[in-house]
Amino acid sequence: MSEAEKPLNFIQKIISEDLKEGRVKALKTRFPPEPNGYLHIGHAKSICLNFGVANQYGGTCNLRFDDTNPEKEEVEYVESIKADVKWLGFVWDGDIRFTSDYFDQLHEWAIYLIKEGKAYVCDLSQEESRTYRGNLTEAGKDSPYKSRSVEENLVLFEKMRLGEFEEGVCSLRVKIDMAHPNMQMRDPVIYRIKKVAHHQTGDKWCIYPSYDFAHGQSDAIEEISHSICTLEFEEHRPLYDWFIANLPVPATPHQYEFSRLNVNYTVTSKRKLKLLVDEGHVDGWDDPRMPTISGMRRRGFTPAAIREFCDMAGVTRVDGVVDVSMLEFAIREDLNKNAARAMCVLHPLKVTLTNYPEDKKETMTAPGHPQRDDLGTRSLPFGREIYIDQDDFREAANKKYKRLVIGKRVRLRNSYIIEADESIKDENGEIIGVNARIIENTVGKNPEDGIKAKGVIHWVSADDNIDCEVRLYDRLFTEEAPDAGGKDMLDSINPDSLQVLTGCKAEVSLANATAEDHYQFEREGYFILDSKDSSTDKKIFNRTISLRDTWNKKS
Ligand code: ATP
Ligand code: MG
């Protein structure tokens, strides 16, 4: 389906109406990550939505780091998030922005609210505040400090700023309504004392705005037209609107919520992903088993497949869980069309072609891709000794087994038909080699005696190949909902999520593989060079995904 034919999602409908009716002149969105971890597949959906609508409707999208919580934030995360957004194929408008860029303005607005009699310094402890707040069935009560004068509040707030109080001694709150049915509206805190340095502002501040006080106002400063976020912020919208209505802001953005992307067999919470990293259950944020953008990239996912997946998942207000096989489908579709073909033997078994002269060499030619002439051809050295996969040979087998069997024929992909004569075993009876013969004149042709080969197997020359390591990945969790209902995700970590194979033999065309090139290793799956652990001396390939979905068959 072309872009123009696709039905609009509810956000697109709102935007196109707003533009048509002239309620909004230019569309402006933003993606506002908190730099407290690496981005994951859930964030990809928000990125695709925010940048996607901006591209579609001729608008712009900002990248804003929502950095109001200095305790958990780090520059490393800022850099990784920038790289991930770029890699996904999106361009933010102008420079990157930080909520902390607006700390001066937010501080002024806090003073404005005090002067308007709409904010007060409250000395209730956290514990006391909780009791004063009431609950969903009971109204809260006013803080005894709510009646402080404007002058007193101004002095106290300035003392907070100057660091004259310890953390937790007091906070700045807005006067809304302690009996409001929406708990968010019960005089929320807008400034807290936190005596910590900030990665952007250093030691300048020891008071920091709350998320709610910063978020909408940052949107207003940037003149965001549609502030798109996930459903858990729906309850915060009245507060968002209250700030916009009660402050002299330069624009009046609107917040719209959509449902979070949840994927089965996957955890999408930075906090939980951080735990996997910190406790060493995975090898870093970019471990290829992680649902982070950087992990998926290293695993061999493509930006196009991730964007397609986010598109397929759709944008709604209904919470649900998307089947991970949809993501796997998206990557297979992309790589089937675009990945160059190659052969790599994962469990090598040497085959000696006894009727092939020892000093003879040939070069076979194979297409780079069966349907893509633009991917050229590959040259495959061929000689008397080759490797095939251990799984592709049996001494005897029934008719269903269409590979190499003693006395039977099989075609070597892009090369001769061969027939096996005998196996060679070590002292323990393990098969360590096979003697076979080529059937003359069968490259690209059927044999003259009319006895065809039943199957086709992959192979590489034993003399000319690349020794490599191959890492096979499986889902990180064995349970569909690893962290649902208070379950400990660590209980369902898949012990077989990584299998490392060494001594694999790849065809020589892979000598120049880079971590940007995707390959289909014929009959084995889709692979990419590992961007981190590979070196010129040691090639390591990651399996992005198998050729077919075998997960259900396993269980
Ligand atoms: P996490 O729980 O993983 O820490 P978060 O919502 O706290 O996620 P932020 O950095 O605040 O992470 O998120 C940036 C943006 O990405 C927000 O607008 C948020 O709504 C959106 N987002 C986060 N997770 C998802 C998800 N699973 N699906 C869709 N959007 C998401
Ligand atoms: Mg958050």
The residue extents of the domains of the chain are 3-258, 270-341+468-554, 344-458
Residue nearest to atom 3 of ligand 1 (CA): 269
484 Cα: distance to centroid of ligand 2 (angstroms): 19
What's the rounded Cα separation, in Å, for the pair 58 and 297? 28
Asked, colleague to colleague, whether 3-258 and 344-458 share their fold, the answer is no
Residue nearest to atom 16 of ligand 1 (CA): 43
Asked if 208 and 70 touch (Cβ cutoff 8 Å), the reply is: yes
Helix and strand totals (H; E) in the chain: 13, 29
Which ligand is the nearest neighbour of the Cα of 310? 1
| Ligand 1 atom nearest residue 272's Cα | 3
Annotation: CATH topology of 270-341+468-554: Ribosomal Protein L25; Chain P (2.40.240)
263 Cα: distance to centroid of ligand 1 (angstroms): 14
167: which 2 tokens?
Answer: 């953390």
Number of Cβ within a 10 Å radius of residue 81: 24
| Ligand 1 atom nearest residue 261's Cα | 28
User: Which residues of the chain carry a pLDDT beneath 50?
Assistant: 554-555
**Do the bridges between strand 385-389 and strand 460-461 make them parallel or antiparallel, or are there none, so unpaired?**
antiparallel
User: What SS3 state is found at 277?
Assistant: helix
Q: CA dihedral defined by 323, 48, 37, 92, rounded to 10 degrees?
A: 170
At 74 the pLDDT is 86
Number of Cβ within a 10 Å radius of residue 240: 22
**Smallest Cα–Cα separation from 140: which of 175, 172, 115, 170?**
175
227 Cα: distance to centroid of ligand 2 (angstroms): 14
32 Cα: distance to centroid of ligand 2 (angstroms): 9
311: which 2 tokens?
Answer: 């598109």
At 18 the pLDDT is 97
Residues 6+ apart with CB under 8 A from 126: 168
179 Cα: distance to centroid of ligand 2 (angstroms): 27
Residue nearest to atom 23 of ligand 1 (CA): 43
CATH label, 344-458, candidates 3.90.550.10, 2.40.240.10, 2.40.10.220, 3.40.50.980: 2.40.240.10
490 Cα: distance to centroid of ligand 2 (angstroms): 23
Which ligand is the nearest neighbour of the Cα of 260? 1
- Residue of 43, 229, 319 best suited for mutating to test ligand 1, as the one with most atoms within 8 Å of CB: 43
On whether the pTM is more than 0.85, the answer is yes
Question: Would you please indicate which residues are annotated as catalytic (active-site) residues?
Answer: 34, 260, 270
User: What SS3 state is found at 322?
Assistant: strand
How much is the mean pLDDT over the chain?
A: 96
Residues across the chain: 555
Number of Cβ within a 10 Å radius of residue 460: 26
What's the rounded Cα separation, in Å, for the pair 97 and 30? 10
**Smallest Cα–Cα separation from 327: which of 485, 530, 475?**
475
At 457 the pLDDT is 98
Which ligand is the nearest neighbour of the Cα of 292? 1
**Smallest Cα–Cα separation from 40: which of 327, 330, 332, 333?**
327
What's the rounded Cα separation, in Å, for the pair 511 and 468? 10
Tally the C-alpha atoms within 13 A of residue 314's C-alpha that lie toward its C-beta.
13
- Residue of 230, 268, 489 best suited for mutating to test ligand 1, as the one with most atoms within 8 Å of CB: 230
Residues with CB under 6 A from ligand 1: 32-34, 42-43, 45-46, 229-230, 260-261, 268-271
Residue nearest to atom 9 of ligand 1 (CA): 33
- Residue of 11, 30, 46, 233 best suited for mutating to test ligand 1, as the one with most atoms within 8 Å of CB: 46
| Ligand 1 atom nearest residue 50's Cα | 18
| Ligand 1 atom nearest residue 47's Cα | 16
At 555 the pLDDT is 40
Which ligand is the nearest neighbour of the Cα of 270? 1
> What residue spans of 31-125 are helical by DSSP H?
41-56, 75-87, 103-115
Q: Which CATH superfamily is domain 3-258 in?
A: HUPs (3.40.50.620)
